[in-house]
Amino acid sequence: MSKFLIVGLGNIGEEYENTRHNIGFTILDAIAKENNFKFSVDKFASTATYKFKGKTLILIKPSTYMNLSGKAVNYWMQAEKIQKENILILTDDLALPFGSVRMKGKGSDGGHNGLKSIQETLTTSEYARLRFGVGNEFAKGKQVDYVLGKWDTEEQKTLDARIKLAIEMVQGFATIGLQRTMSAYNNK
């Protein structure tokens, strides 16, 4: 049976809930809600195991804070004996317009501290990531406030539909693979 490590990036703590930077946590929480399971607090992360079409998905929400996400990823890769090819990182992306959801097999960290930490820990930028566009509608010098800010009223109108699409892409990654998921979903 194939095992996959699905990592939602975010920061722990109530003050970060429903913020743009925590979209990785939000997507995993939506999978849990849809499938009626809960996360439990574990080493370096809150974790849950989710079975989908014969695949086992180990879902983790690192508790290390964003800039140390690589520590949680490395620990769970080793603990679950999961290859780099079976890892998917769910992350917010300022370079994409709000609601755009793109999957890539590799890439730069784009200045994202969570991806930077993972890249340093894995010593490669060749790992799959699902980038959820949060847009860049902020004034100069206000990037941190923007990503740590809550979704606005307009964004909330379509957020659930975009999260649903992201969930389908996570499931696609585990069942039909990276390339076919990218082909099927990257332009939706």
Active site residues: 21
**Statement: residue 133 has pLDDT above 60:** yes
Q: What is the mean pLDDT of residues 23-40?
A: 96
pLDDT the model gives residue 101: 95
Range of the domain at 147: 3-185
160-to-23, 38, 88, 98, 187 alpha-carbon distances in Å = 11, 19, 20, 13, 18
pLDDT the model gives residue 20: 93
Tens digit of each residue's pLDDT (9 = 90 or more) over 75-107: 999 999 999 999 999 999 999 999 999 999 999
Domains identified in the chain, total number: 1
**Statement: residue 24 has pLDDT above 70:** yes
**Statement: residue 41 has pLDDT above 70:** yes
Q: What is the mean pLDDT of residues 27-33?
A: 97
Q: Considering the entire predicted model, what is its pTM?
A: 0.95
pLDDT the model gives residue 1: 56
CATH number at residue 57: 3.40.50.1470
